[in-house]
Homo-oligomer: A and B are copies of this chain.
Amino acid sequence: MSNRAGASDSDREPSAGDDSPSPVPEATVARLPVYLRAVVSEREAGATTISSERLAKLAGVNAAKVRKDLSFLGTYGIRGVGYDVDRLMAEMGNQLGLSQNWPCVIVGAGNLGAALANYLSADERGFSVVAIVDADEAKWGEHIGSVAVHADDDLPRLVAEHDIAIGIITTPPSVAQTVADQLVAAGVGSILNFAPVVLTIPDGVLLRNVDLALELQVLSFYQGRSGEAAAPA
């Protein structure tokens, strides 16, 4: 899948000074969330075990890949039976750090920021949006879901006060680098950037980019070839 994918897509090999570099390949990490969702849904459907074949089908990948991926988490499968759903769920959630609760700040209270705030409050285990900041004074004090919009000057204080680990940038591209610098200075460990610019950040801070226009342009590239004859005006 994520051929991309993924997408979707991102950047640098994360190598924040850990003595033993993560033995889990990057490509595998990107698939774990997909597996996790599949396993959760199977559990809700009443299953207690799941085979690599079935999991592969649900996740849209190859069965051998599933087995190899899961083998990186340690061996929790039972030959002839499959994987224990509860145990698999627990282990994957654990590895993904979802047993903790990561406080996040969203910078930029536009539509995209609001979408993320709602999305994370509603669905996602493991993350909570504790603050939203915006440069526009008119928005200060508004609420998105249950989270208040603060002044951008408050960013350092908010990060320190809530021990915020993850900063999410949903600002216009022109200010994204400045915001990133502020987030780094304030001490966040990871940044998820939605602004269509290439950010430079110091080593030791994790960065991941999501670029909406890029995804469309990739589609357009392939569409422009496959349907050459049937292309629109």
A190 → chain B, closest Cβ, in Å?
4
Given contacts A111-B111, A196-B37, A220-B127, contact A4 B14 (CB under 8 A): no
**Contact in complex: B215, A210 (CB < 8 Å):** yes
Across the interface, name the chain B residue whose C-beta is closest to A197.
B37
- B residues less than 8 Å from A215 (CB atoms): 8, 10, 192, 208, 210
- B residues less than 8 Å from A9 (CB atoms): 1-9, 30
Comparing A42-50, A93-101, A132-140, A150-158, the segment that makes contact with chain B is A93-101
**Contact in complex: B18, A11 (CB < 8 Å):** no
- Contacting residue for A220 out of B5, B22, B97, B214, CB 8 A: B97
- Contacting residue for A190 out of B27, B102, B213, B222, CB 8 A: B222
For A1-41 the 0/1 string (1 means CB < 8 A from B) is 11111111111111011100010101101101110111000
- Contacting residue for A14 out of B165, B189, B209, B226, CB 8 A: B226
A69 within 8 A of B: no
**Contact in complex: A223, B165 (CB < 8 Å):** yes
3 A-B pairs with the lowest CB-CB distances in the bound complex, closest first? A6-B9, A8-B8, A5-B9
A-B contact pairs, 9 of them (CB 8 A): A2-B6, A6-B10, A6-B211, A8-B8, A8-B215, A102-B216, A111-B111, A114-B115, A119-B213
